Chains A and B, each alone.
Chain A
């Protein structure tokens, strides 16, 4: 199906009762296998969206997202929907407000239809750390969808929604997008308001988009971005200029001692060949500080997490142990200990430790100085290139459980993604090839505000390798052919 037809079908799918109910049936059937959604409620979504702002009248040309259903990672607030963050502690929490990013999309007519599974509070790379159940990769149900936005990526790849929102703290949009064979944009830090995103590591994270269609990524991002009075770290969008000379110069880092799994190595070489055939100019670059990136990243992420997650105390909201009678201090300890999962506790412990007096200089302060070194290194690199190409992850989608990657190896594997978070730079992961019938993703990084450059480069690359469809994928099916409906009917 042609892309614009697919887009049109998405915009019509909720409008009439018949296609709507058959789509809802399709999603429920898909989700019996995939478990992408923690909550799927299009009727509630329609209510929330219609109350969100000036309802787009049928005749007005309000924007290109009218009627389009989308999914939201369950650490991003949508009023009256749950906001569990994948945590047992918040499994019954109902959001009293809506995130700015979601609000802006609703004002343009898009309809949130459900909340997707994630690693608890966004901490993980496989969605196995969700306290509320697993999500399965639609390409192979024995494999993980990646994480932490695993539910969002799986829902998009399986054709359940047109696009989904995720959050990217160290690769949580791009890595699941790569594992599921779709596009994943991590915008420049601060371009999308974090108001309504449950905070994990505030200086690193940003709300991003996952979609199969690159023009959808572009439209969603352009609607979401912009300064927001509710988020004081949000910035005015100041678009970077086009590539010099109209031809992309792509920096290709020497991966040196970093070993890639075989399928990623093959895909990496295919990508380089593909770019050459598209007349991209490839230029070797050096990023020697990459070696220290992951340790510095985890020090900062855990430190910020330990502070941000201090609010979950079981006092004003959240699960409390039944029949509890002790003192408030004990109530807080027990609520946290029973409600939070292992990975979250580990990161809180690490973060608390590195911030303790006496340890701050050797961990947190040192990590922040290394962050400066990394930032400068990337700034230097971008003086000579328009984009930087990197793999997304050292291996392809791995199996869940004991046959997969242990938590420590998963952390080390953030090496390619977390550079964009440490530097605040935009990055877009794209499907690069299929190896053994599984998708492998690569990513472009750009200078601040160069999202359009990333999108154009991916559009060009799609000539070599278009977005693949997983076996479970089915294109959206609206009421009838476009010409039978009439324009804007």
Chain B
């Protein structure tokens, strides 16, 4: 497993890219462009020109290496993640999702720019825990639940053999 360290594009050097390429044969440079968004990752929408065409511009940061960006996740990583998420991706889907996932992960890397030292994490907005009494509440209308079961035998839900 090879993991390329996160470096925001603005701080990435050409040498990092070359090093990364040598690091693993599996890492291929990818170059992609996103419609409508101005350079620097500033979210905003470009107005169409007088012919109604919208300009194609780079999405995040400046071009790093002859206009190529470095893939920040390997194919293998996506496969492992899909396994964990109980998703089965076809080859065609893997290609499609790889692109979209990389695009988002690269966008997430923007968070690295901010100094978060000493800040506690916020997990939820209601800051107090409220517990209930440990009493079972019986739901009686089980028919309304069973009606949604994909396969029933009497009142049992059928699944494939476990062993």
Kindly identify, within residues 132 to 157 of chain B, every residue whose CB is under 8 Å from any CB belonging to chain A.
Answer: 132, 141, 144-145, 147-151, 157
Residue of B nearest to A292 (CB): B114
Which single member of B42, B130, B157 contacts A259 (CB below 8 Å)? Answer: B42
| A298→B78 CA distance, assembly (Å) | 18
Q: How many chain A residues have a CB neighbour from B under 8 Å? A: 88
With A350-B104, A372-B120 known as contacts, the answer to whether A405 contacts B114 (CB < 8 A) is no
B122-A409 in contact (CB<8A): no
Q: Is A482 an interface residue (CB 8 A)?
A: no
Let me know if A295 and B132 touch, CB within 8 A. Answer: no
Known: A260-B44, A373-B119. A233 touches B111 (CB 8 A): no
Residues in B78-103 with C-beta less than 8 Å from chain A? 78, 81-82, 84-89, 93, 96-97, 100-101, 103
Distance in angstroms from B121 CB to nearest chain A CB is 3
A261 to chain B: which residues have CB within 8 Å? Answer: 44-47
**Chain B residue nearest in CB terms to A259:** B44
Name the contact of B86 in the complex, choosing from A229, A319, A336, A370 (C-beta under 8 A): A336
A415 CA to B125 CA, complexed, in Å: 19
Contact B119 A319 (CB under 8 A): no
* Smallest CB separation, B9 vs chain A (Å): 13
Residue among B6, B40, B59, B88 with most chain A CB within 10 A: B88
Judged by a CB distance under 8 angstroms, whether B65 is at the interface is no
Chain B residues with a Cβ closer than 8 Å to the other chain, count: 68
The 0/1 profile, CB within 8 Å of B marked 1, for residues 28-67 of chain A is 0000000000000000000000000000000000000000
B113 contacts across to A, CB distance below 8 A: 292
Nearest CB in chain B to that of A393: its residue: B45
Choose one: A362, A408, A424; the contact of B125 (CB below 8 Å): A424
Q: Show 20 residue pairs from A and B whose CB-CB distance is below 8 angstroms, ordered by the A residue.
A: A291-B110, A294-B107, A295-B109, A296-B111, A298-B108, A315-B157, A317-B150, A333-B87, A346-B97, A346-B101, A348-B87, A349-B97, A350-B104, A356-B81, A366-B112, A408-B34, A408-B100, A408-B104, A408-B107, A413-B45
Residue numbers of B with Cβ under 8 A of A are: 3, 6, 34-38, 40-47, 59, 73, 77-78, 81-82, 84-89, 93, 96-97, 100-101, 103-105, 107-114, 116, 119-126, 130-132, 141, 144-145, 147-151, 157, 159-162
Interface residues of A (CB under 8 A from B): 79, 92-94, 96-97, 189-190, 203, 229, 232-233, 235, 257-262, 289, 291-292, 294-296, 298-299, 306, 310, 313-320, 324-334, 336-337, 340, 342, 345-346, 348-354, 356, 358, 362-363, 365-373, 375, 394-395, 405-409, 411-413, 415, 423-424
Given A258-B43, A292-B114, 13 more contacts at CB 8 Å?
A93-B148, A259-B42, A261-B44, A295-B111, A310-B86, A320-B151, A327-B160, A333-B87, A346-B100, A356-B81, A369-B121, A372-B120, A409-B35
